[in-house]
Chain A
Amino acid sequence: MQIEAIYDHGYLEFTRPVLLKHDRIRIVVEVPDEELVDSTPSTPDMQQPTYELPPEVVLMAKRAEEKLDQILNVPLPDDADLPPLTRKQLDRIEAIALRDQIRDGR
Chain B
Amino acid sequence: MDLLIDVNVALDSCAKRHPYYAPARDAIQLCKYRGGRLWLYTGSVQTLEYNLFKELRRIEAEKGGNATSRQLISRCRTLLSDFAQDKHWLAALAGEGPVFDSPDPEDEQLIRSLDRFAPGSIKLLTRDQPLLDAHPDKTITPTQYCQRPAEDRKIDFIDLKAQQDAIRPQLERNIHRVLHHGQYIMGPEVKALEEKLATYVGVKHCITVSSGTDTLLIAMMALGIGPGDEVITTPFTFIATGEMIALLGARPVFVDIDPHTCNIDPAKIEVAITPKTRAIMPVSLYGQCSDMEAINAIASKHRLPVIEDAAQSFGATYKGRKSCALSTIGSTSFFPSKPLGGYGDGGALFTDDDAIAKAMREIRVHGQDRRYHHPRIGINGRLDTLQAAIILAKLERFDWEVAKRQKVGARYTTLINTHLQLEAGLGVRDNIITPQIETCNTSVYAQYTIQVADRDALAKRLNEAGIPTAVHYPVPLNEQPAFSQLESQVDTPHAKQMSQRVISLPMGPDLAEADQERIVVSLYA
Query: Could you say which residues of chain B place their CB within 8 Å of the CB of A85?
Result: 69-70, 73
> Within the complex, what minimum Cβ distance (angstroms) separates A106 from chain B?
9
**Central interface residue in B47, B51, B70, by most chain A CB within 10 Å:** B70
Cross-chain pairs A/B with CB under 8 angstroms, 19 sampled? A23-B64, A24-B62, A45-B142, A46-B20, A53-B146, A56-B33, A68-B14, A68-B79, A76-B72, A76-B75, A79-B70, A82-B71, A83-B70, A92-B46, A92-B50, A93-B53, A96-B51, A96-B54, A100-B54
Interface contact A51-B143, CB-CB below 8 Å: yes
A46: nearest residue on chain B (CB-CB)? B19
Bound Cα distance from A54 to B146, whole angstroms: 11
0 or 1 for each of B143-158: is its CB under 8 Å from A? (1 = yes): 1101100000000000
Interface contact A79-B71, CB-CB below 8 Å: yes
Interface contact A24-B23, CB-CB below 8 Å: no
A77 beta carbon closer than 8 Å to chain B:
yes
Restricting to B67-113, which residues have a CB under 8 Å from any CB of A? 67-75, 78-79, 82
A17 beta carbon closer than 8 Å to chain B:
no
Q: Which of B14, B22, B73 contacts A49 (CB 8 A)?
A: B22
Q: Which of A24, A61, A82 contacts B61 (CB 8 A)?
A: A24
Task: Give residues in A with beta carbon < 8 Å to B.
Answer: 11, 23-24, 41, 43-47, 49-51, 53-54, 56-57, 60-61, 64-65, 67-68, 71-72, 76-77, 79, 82-85, 89, 92-93, 95-97, 100
Q: Which of B25, B79, B127, B141 contacts A65 (CB 8 A)?
A: B25
Query: Could you say which residues of chain A place their CB within 8 Å of the CB of B54?
Result: 93, 96-97, 100
Q: Which of A11, A43, A79, A83 contacts B127 (CB 8 A)?
A: A43
> Within the complex, what minimum Cβ distance (angstroms) separates A63 from chain B?
9
Query: Could you say which residues of chain A place their CB within 8 Å of the CB of B29?
Result: 53, 57, 60-61, 64
Bound Cα distance from A46 to B47, whole angstroms: 24
Bound Cα distance from A72 to B365, whole angstroms: 61
B126: nearest residue on chain A (CB-CB)? A45
Restricting to B139-179, which residues have a CB under 8 Å from any CB of A? 141-144, 146-147
B37 beta carbon closer than 8 Å to chain A:
no
Query: Could you say which residues of chain B place their CB within 8 Å of the CB of A93?
Result: 50, 53-54, 69
Interface Cβ pair total, 8 Å cutoff? 101
The prevalent SS among residues of B at the interface is helix
B366 beta carbon closer than 8 Å to chain A:
no
0 or 1 for each of B13-33: is its CB under 8 Å from A? (1 = yes): 110100110110110111011
Known A57-B29, A76-B67, A82-B71; further 6 A-B contacts with Cβ < 8 A: A45-B141, A57-B30, A60-B33, A65-B25, A82-B68, A95-B50
Bound Cα distance from A67 to B53, whole angstroms: 20
B21: nearest residue on chain A (CB-CB)? A65
Interface contact A53-B74, CB-CB below 8 Å: no
Query: Could you say which residues of chain B place their CB within 8 Å of the CB of A50?
Result: 143, 147
Bound Cα distance from A57 to B26, whole angstroms: 8
B484 beta carbon closer than 8 Å to chain A:
no
Query: Could you say which residues of chain A place their CB within 8 Å of the CB of B33?
Result: 54, 56-57, 60
Q: Which of A53, A89, A95 contacts B30 (CB 8 A)?
A: A53
Interface contact B143-A44, CB-CB below 8 Å: yes
Closest 5 CB pairs of A and B: A51-B146, A60-B29, A82-B70, A76-B71, A96-B50
Interface contact B26-A53, CB-CB below 8 Å: yes
Bound Cα distance from A47 to B141, whole angstroms: 12
Interface contact A49-B70, CB-CB below 8 Å: no
> Within the complex, what minimum Cβ distance (angstroms) separates A49 from chain B?
6
Bound Cα distance from A85 to B127, whole angstroms: 32
Interface contact B19-A71, CB-CB below 8 Å: no
0 or 1 for each of B253-280: is its CB under 8 Å from A? (1 = yes): 0000000000000000000000000000
A11: nearest residue on chain B (CB-CB)? B58
Interface contact B26-A49, CB-CB below 8 Å: yes
Query: Could you say which residues of chain A place their CB within 8 Å of the CB of B143?
Result: 44-45, 47, 49-51
Interface contact B26-A51, CB-CB below 8 Å: yes
Interface contact B71-A23, CB-CB below 8 Å: no
Bound Cα distance from A68 to B72, whole angstroms: 16
B129 beta carbon closer than 8 Å to chain A:
yes
Bound Cα distance from A44 to B26, whole angstroms: 14
> Within the complex, what minimum Cβ distance (angstroms) separates A26 from chain B?
12
Q: Which of A45, A77, A82 contacts B19 (CB 8 A)?
A: A45
Interface contact A45-B75, CB-CB below 8 Å: no
Bound Cα distance from A98 to B147, whole angstroms: 37
A92: nearest residue on chain B (CB-CB)? B50
Contacts A79-B68, A93-B69, A97-B54 known; A71 to B82 CB distance under 8 Å?
Answer: yes
**Central interface residue in A11, A41, A79, A84, by most chain B CB within 10 Å:** A79
Bound Cα distance from A95 to B106, whole angstroms: 15
Interface contact A71-B78, CB-CB below 8 Å: yes
Contacts A43-B127, A44-B143 known; A68 to B71 CB distance under 8 Å?
Answer: no
Query: Could you say which residues of chain A place their CB within 8 Å of the CB of B14?
Result: 68
Interface contact A67-B64, CB-CB below 8 Å: no
Bound Cα distance from A64 to B12, whole angstroms: 13
**Central interface residue in A11, A47, A51, A54, by most chain B CB within 10 Å:** A51
> Within the complex, what minimum Cβ distance (angstroms) separates A62 from chain B?
9
Bound Cα distance from A20 to B91, whole angstroms: 44
